[in-house]
Every structure is written in structure tokens, then in C-alpha cells.
A and B are shown apart, each in its own frame.
Chain A
Amino acid sequence: MAKIPVQFTLNGAEKAEFIDSGTTLLHALRDKIGDTSPKGGCHQGTCGACSVIIDGELRLSCLTLAETCNGAAITTTSGLSQGGVLHPLQRAFLDAFATQCGFCTPGMIMAAKVLLDHTPDPSRDEVVEALSGNICRCTGYEPIIQAVLTAARSNSQNAA
């Protein structure tokens, strides 16, 4: 079958690829573009490891067809640090020892980023809700929740 073109921005950079129709965004990002930060933990929409931000909204790249993203602005965890400086969320995950195996981490950070983009000073319940689509099997979630709350506090201090 003929390949079809897709074009979008990934972490601010223009990307254009020819893909097979029906290819998921997760496969397009990982196998075509080479951004392996979104992880395939289930391909069912039940684990959140593949979470990316599309036009400001949290989406599951495993259930999104790449060709529906033409013209979109896509953000992944690999694009968060700028010039070698970690994003406050990344810093907070490090400081809180909120990663163990690390497989869920990029998806968790995406979910947390969307939360903080819309709700800079979230309550614990809002953090819990924001992370609720992302499975972690190692940490018991508490260090991750604490990391997001810490990042929010450091953001608001920086803004102040």
C-alpha cells in the first residue's frame, strides 16, 4: 500500500514522514522519527506509558493514529529539558526519588505537565486525578505525587 505523508511539530521541530495508513502515533514517533521517550506498555490505553501532549491536551499515542495528527504540535518528555537544563518536573522527579524502573516516568511527566500547565498550584487530589491514567508498579505512587507537588511549588516560587 502506498505510504501517506504526515507532518507535525515535535517538541517545536518540524517533522515530516511517510507512513503506512493506520500507523499509531506511538509507532510513528518511536520507529519512524526515533523519539523513544513514549513507551508502549499496553497498546490498550490502560497504562499511560505512551502519553504525549497534542495541542496542549494529554493523549495516548498508542490509540492515536499518526495521520490524524497532521498539523498538530506534539510534545514528548524527550523535549522538555532545554539546553541541558532539566524541566522543573524532571528535577522534582529526580530529587524525590520518584523513579525506579523508569518505564512509566515519561508518561507520568507528560500527565503532570498538562496538569501544571492548566493548574499551576494543584491540590493533592488534583494531582492524584491527573496521574490516574498512568500505572506505576514500582513506587506506590506517593513519591510521584510528592514530586509533582514539589514541582508546582518551585514553579510558583519562580513565578513570584
Chain B
Amino acid sequence: MAIKRGRGVAAINYPTGMNLGGDPTQALVHSTPTGNFMVTLSSVDLGQGMKQIMAQICAETIGVPTDRVVVDTADTDTGPHCMGTFASRGTHRAGNAVIQAAREARQVMLEVAAEELEVNASDLETDGQGNILVKGAPQRSISIFDVALSAHFKRGRSISGRGMFLIPRSYPEKETGAMKPSTCYAHACTVAEVEVDDETGEITVLTVKNVFEIGRALNPKMVEQQLVGGSWMGISHALYETTEPYYPDRDHGGTDFNQYLMPGPGDLAQTEIIVLERPSADGPYGAKGPGEMCANPQIPAIANAVFDAVGVRIDTLPITPERILRALKAQASN
């Protein structure tokens, strides 16, 4: 028996947002009488943390701490339209809509504050802690709490804003395929190291080192969640997953989590994540969509590592022990 080791690399890019655009998302932002802010959307949180990220984007734009923002989403009676949570579009599209809505609300907030402080709105700034200050004279300030009260009960102003973000739809040119699939791309490069048992074809992924360029890590811990989970799913796709193990033969499809194979907690590769940030020109605070691309580069990196280890190419996914063993036997008989 021999355990053989190999490593492989892959580099990829991934578009942010629905292919060819044409996928609008709206947001509404308003303040409560005490200066908390409501973001109203119809975007869906699948577990990636859309609600939290929208709160942080709104908070940054208005100039308040995140815990003063509440996100109310996915009730079609109250939330304005969103195309949906898919295609790495949630943060990018909804984030831009929230920024636009929050900017409009912020402008009203500053106007009310300006009236209270008897200065021009353009001379005001927020401190991020819930206060509005006169630029260069921070001792002249008013809390957003007081501004909201004033707006509601004294000045009759609605501190609110509307946001809409749409990348106009691109139609591919029939003959040349000229088109604009996306406005920004995330990037990745992964190096994977594997061990292959040349008697059984069993593969162990020892390490994956992932470098991801994602525009901007809006919340680094939440980005890490997605990238770590995505890297796991990439490994899973490479080696385990299919609903039709004998494709195109339709038989023997798994119907449960015992038969549908994914790496268990005892199969985890040592995973390293490095993040680069090249802000995208049209991303909210430069963000791109990291959620999908992070699961892609591990697959070819592992395929290449398997070749490096045992000298056989598995060009069919998933790279199962059976496929490796068959290839090794074919190699031996040649």
C-alpha cells in the first residue's frame, strides 16, 4: 500500500449579481421617533446574514451604531420589490438600494439637525455614535435621538428615504455574443494538498489554502463564515456529491443524508483563508458577492492535486475512490 501526496492549484473569477443584469432591488429606510432606523426590504436571508449586513450598511450610511438599525424584510405587504437572494446579488444589489435610501434619510436628518443647530446642513457630520456635530466645532452637536423627536413632533419632517438599484439588462448580441454579464467580479486562488491511497482510491484533503478577493469584507466574521463553509462545500463537490452517482444512468439516487455524501466533521481539511479587498466601483462600500465563488476553486485544485499525487486525470465529477481506482487500474494495464 502506498499513500501518495500531491498538490494542485486553481484560480477563478466569479460575477456578482444576476447574469446580464435587469434584476432590481428596492429598500425603504425611515427613522422612529427616537432615532432608531427601520430598513424595509423584501430580500431573503438564507442564513448568510443578509439582515445583519443590511443593518451595518444602513448604520454606516446614516451615521449611527448598527444596533440602532432594525431590518424588516420579506413581507410582500410591506417590503418593496427585490428580485431575490441568488446569484451573489443580495449584498450588492440590496446594499446599494439601502445606501441610496439611507442617504436620502440622512439628508433629511441633517436638515432637521441644521434647523435645530441653526447652521447649514452641509456643515454637519455624524460621529457614528448617534450624534450630529458641526464640522470643526464638535462642541456644537445634537443627538440623533433629539433630531428624530424634533422631526416627528416639532418640524413635521419624515426622516426617510427610498432606494432602488438596477443594473440595466444586457442583451447578448446574437452572432458575436457581445454582452455585459456583470459589472464586477470576485476572485480566488486555491492550493489544495491531498493524499491518495493507491489501493483503494480513497482521497484525503489535507490542506486547502484559499485566497479570496471579495471587494470589501463588510463584516469580516460573517465573510469568514461564508468562505469557510464555501470551501467545505467545494471540497464536498469535488469528492462526494451527486444525486445521480451513476449518471447518466438514473438509478441509485440517494434519498437521505446517509446516501447523499458530504464530508463529515471528521473529514475536514486544514483550511486557511486569506482575504484581499479591491473595492468594486459599483459595490456597496466596494463589496462584491463572495458567497458563490468561494465554493468553486477547491474543485479543480483538488482534481489537479490528485493528478499530482497518482498521475491519473479524473475529468468527471465527483472524484470518487471508484473513479480513481478505475483510472489507476487502467494506467497499470497500459
Quick one: CB contact mask for B199-240 with A, threshold 8 Å, 1 for yes? 000000000000000000000011011101111110000000
A63 CB-CB contact with B under 8 Å: no
Given contacts A140-B271, A142-B268, 15 further A-B contacts (CB under 8 A): A42-B257, A46-B257, A46-B258, A97-B222, A100-B47, A102-B47, A128-B264, A132-B265, A137-B233, A137-B262, A140-B229, A140-B231, A140-B233, A141-B268, A143-B228
B264 partner residues in chain A, CB cutoff 8 A: 128, 132, 141
> Which residues 76-107 of B sit at the A interface, judged by CB distance below 8 A?
none
A135 partner residues in chain B, CB cutoff 8 A: 257, 262
A131 CB-CB contact with B under 8 Å: yes
The one of B49, B224, B230, B256 that contacts A46, using a Cβ cutoff of 8 Å: B256
B47 partner residues in chain A, CB cutoff 8 A: 100-103, 138
Least Cβ distance of A51 to chain B in Å? 13
A137 partner residues in chain B, CB cutoff 8 A: 233, 262
B224 partner residues in chain A, CB cutoff 8 A: 97
Interface residues of A (CB under 8 A from B): 42, 44, 46-47, 97, 100-103, 125, 127-129, 131-132, 135, 137-145
- Find out whether the CB atom of B228 lies under 8 angstroms from the CB atom of A139: yes
Give the CA-CA distance A127 to B266 in the complex, in Å.
10
Interface residues of B (CB under 8 A from A): 46-49, 221-222, 224-226, 228-233, 256-258, 262, 264-266, 268, 271
A47 partner residues in chain B, CB cutoff 8 A: 257
Give the CA-CA distance A43 to B265 in the complex, in Å.
21
Give the CA-CA distance A44 to B47 in the complex, in Å.
24
The one of B49, B230, B257, B265 that contacts A141, using a Cβ cutoff of 8 Å: B265
Give the CA-CA distance A58 to B49 in the complex, in Å.
30
> 20 A–B contact pairs at CB < 8 A?
A42-B256, A46-B257, A47-B257, A97-B221, A100-B225, A101-B47, A102-B47, A125-B266, A128-B266, A129-B266, A135-B262, A138-B47, A139-B228, A139-B232, A140-B228, A140-B231, A141-B264, A141-B265, A142-B268, A145-B265
Least Cβ distance of A40 to chain B in Å? 13
4 nearest interchain CB pairs?
A: A101-B47, A140-B232, A46-B257, A100-B47
Closest partner residue, chain B, to A47 (CB atom)? B257
- Find out whether the CB atom of B265 lies under 8 angstroms from the CB atom of A97: no
Least Cβ distance of B236 to chain A in Å? 9
Q: Which of B46, B49, B229, B265 has the most CB of A within 10 A?
A: B265
Known: A42-B257, A100-B49, A101-B47. A132 touches B266 (CB 8 A): yes
The one of A42, A101, A127, A141 that contacts B46, using a Cβ cutoff of 8 Å: A101
Give the CA-CA distance A101 to B271 in the complex, in Å.
21
Least Cβ distance of A140 to chain B in Å? 3
Give the CA-CA distance A41 to B204 in the complex, in Å.
28
Give the CA-CA distance A19 to B262 in the complex, in Å.
37
A127 partner residues in chain B, CB cutoff 8 A: 265
B221 partner residues in chain A, CB cutoff 8 A: 97
Least Cβ distance of A152 to chain B in Å? 16
B258 partner residues in chain A, CB cutoff 8 A: 46
Give the CA-CA distance A102 to B47 in the complex, in Å.
7
A142 partner residues in chain B, CB cutoff 8 A: 228, 232, 268, 271
A42 partner residues in chain B, CB cutoff 8 A: 256-257
B226 partner residues in chain A, CB cutoff 8 A: 100
Closest partner residue, chain B, to A134 (CB atom)? B265
Closest partner residue, chain B, to A43 (CB atom)? B256
Give the CA-CA distance A102 to B228 in the complex, in Å.
16
The one of B229, B231, B257, B271 that contacts A100, using a Cβ cutoff of 8 Å: B229
A132 partner residues in chain B, CB cutoff 8 A: 264-266
B233 partner residues in chain A, CB cutoff 8 A: 137, 140
Give the CA-CA distance A47 to B259 in the complex, in Å.
12
Least Cβ distance of A110 to chain B in Å? 15
- Find out whether the CB atom of A138 lies under 8 angstroms from the CB atom of B229: yes
Known: A47-B257, A102-B47. A131 touches B265 (CB 8 A): yes
